[in-house]
Structure 1
């Protein structure tokens, strides 16, 4: 019998401090599943990648590790960590973590209903709203909704769909700009088809990227970025970086001024 190495956490923690008041009009973004920061060279790559970034969305991020000071003492980014489980041997928590040069106005996290096989660990999503650059014609209080998700793996298509439905429900009542990104574990056609169906139903556009498929991902792309009410100006996949089993993705977007009323 295999003993469980994990216990439930399902908690939210804030670290660091934001350096700006609003996001935009140009916003630089990093998306990366950091593989629990286990690979050699991760810290050097990470600190280099985040220097010019306004938003950073991490999956398989960790807490209670030797890297904690990087986040706790940050004077550039506010970090929000949504933990879903803890390793009972090391006390290290794992989940999703979002960093921003602007403090979140509000945030929400949710854990998957179902657990993954054997360990019964669950996956997490973290949603946060950030104030946007105030164009002269922009309605007061408009915010960017950023959803950082790591979707459940190694389960039936029904359980996968249930978690993806849960992720997309966070978009339901937000009328403004949206950025949805993360590791969606879309390693087969059925999963990807359902993901794209939901994205279309919420009027999201996909960020197209030039990237290399990986053998350990069954030659499928697992990391995706979708958006609404924004303009994508550039995207780049860092295939030269190997300190995770996922490539980091950099994205440049621009906020849009609403049309003038006539």
Structure 2
């Protein structure tokens, strides 16, 4: 029997609580709760980073220097240590994590930090067929300053598998949500696209859902077999700038991007 999938929501000064996937599937309409104020920022600053379970020194200084002023932070392999949870709840309103790997004290998985409260939260998890380890994804929706709703997809794609069936299945599950969303979309994470078949599946997926890829003039992204692993894709927002930060604070380098609203 599969374990029930949920996200953990962290709020400063309050106990963490479980958030389960929405009961009703498609189609759905995102509506703001009555009295909700829209954010007032002019640009959308985004950080995407596989943080390697905070195993290396300097991760705190990197995420503090480049993450606290971002409006949206998508972390993969984020382990819910007190240090990370404290940072997240001090600087962000919405903090949601999907536990994928259970460690003795703190689970690890994708974590999305946002300056806005999500009005929709759907945790996803997929088990790798060879090692039986889980990889997670998280879909959240936030109000934007222009009144639109931004869908943020934070994904850590399955890695060890024979063939591409399970890889495609994980992306297709995400794609069901994207195709029913009317507003802008931002999708980032560690896609483990280390082979030609995986890359073909990924780019077929992005074409199908009209997602553009963020490119980097100086590309210092982590690679495997000569192929980058980390990506940011977007739809219905405008890319202003993007850089890859070189650091030894993880086995992946953070991706930084800034968008404007259409």
Scaled by the length of structure 2, the TM-score of the pair is 0.83
Q: Are residue 58 (structure 1) and residue 75 (structure 2) matched?
A: yes
The 5 A counterparts of 1:112-261 are 112=126, 114-118=127-131, 120-134=132-146, 142-156=148-162, 157-209=164-216, 210-212=218-220, 214=222, 217-239=224-246, 241-256=247-262
Q: Once the 2 structures are TM-superposed, how far is the Cα of residue 187 of structure 1 from its aligned partner?
A: 0.4
- Structure 2 unaligned segments of length 5 or more: list them: 13-36
Aligned residues: 235
Q: Once the 2 structures are TM-superposed, how far is the Cα of residue 243 of structure 1 from its aligned partner?
A: 0.6
Q: Once the 2 structures are TM-superposed, how far is the Cα of residue 158 of structure 1 from its aligned partner?
A: 1.6
Q: Which has the higher contact order (CA 8 A, sep 6+)?
A: 1
Asked if 2 retains the 8 angstrom alpha-carbon contact of 1:108 and 1:127, the reply is: yes
CA separation of 1:231 and 1:116: change in aligned 2, threshold 3 A: same
> What do residues 74-94 of structure 1 show as CA deviations (whole Å, max 9, x unaligned)?
15442111112202xx22201
Q: Are residue 45 (structure 1) and residue 62 (structure 2) matched?
A: yes
> How far apart, CA to CA, are the structure 2 residues paired with 1:65 and 1:52?
20
Asked if 1 retains the 8 angstrom alpha-carbon contact of 2:68 and 2:91, the reply is: no
Asked if 2 retains the 8 angstrom alpha-carbon contact of 1:23 and 1:54, the reply is: no
Scaled by the length of structure 1, the TM-score of the pair is 0.83
> How far apart, CA to CA, are the structure 1 residues paired with 2:76 and 2:57?
18
> What do residues 75-119 of structure 1 show as CA deviations (whole Å, max 9, x unaligned)?
5442111112202xx22201100111111111111111x33523x
Asked if 1 retains the 8 angstrom alpha-carbon contact of 2:190 and 2:231, the reply is: yes
- Structure 1 unaligned segments of length 5 or more: list them: 1-6, 135-140, 257-262
Match of 1:138 in 2: none
Match of 2:123 in 1: 109
SS of 1:200's partner is: helix
Deviates more, 1:157-166 or 1:103-112: 157-166
> How far apart, CA to CA, are the structure 2 residues paired with 1:159 and 1:236?
31
> What do residues 15-67 of structure 1 show as CA deviations (whole Å, max 9, x unaligned)?
236xx842643111100000011011111111111132001000001114543
Runs of 4+ in structure 1 off by over 6 angstroms are: none
SS of 1:84's partner is: coil
> How far apart, CA to CA, are the structure 2 residues paired with 1:37 and 1:58?
11
CA separation of 1:132 and 1:155: change in aligned 2, threshold 3 A: same
Root mean square deviation, CA, Å? 2.1
CA separation of 1:24 and 1:195: change in aligned 2, threshold 3 A: farther
Q: Are residue 92 (structure 1) and residue 106 (structure 2) matched?
A: yes
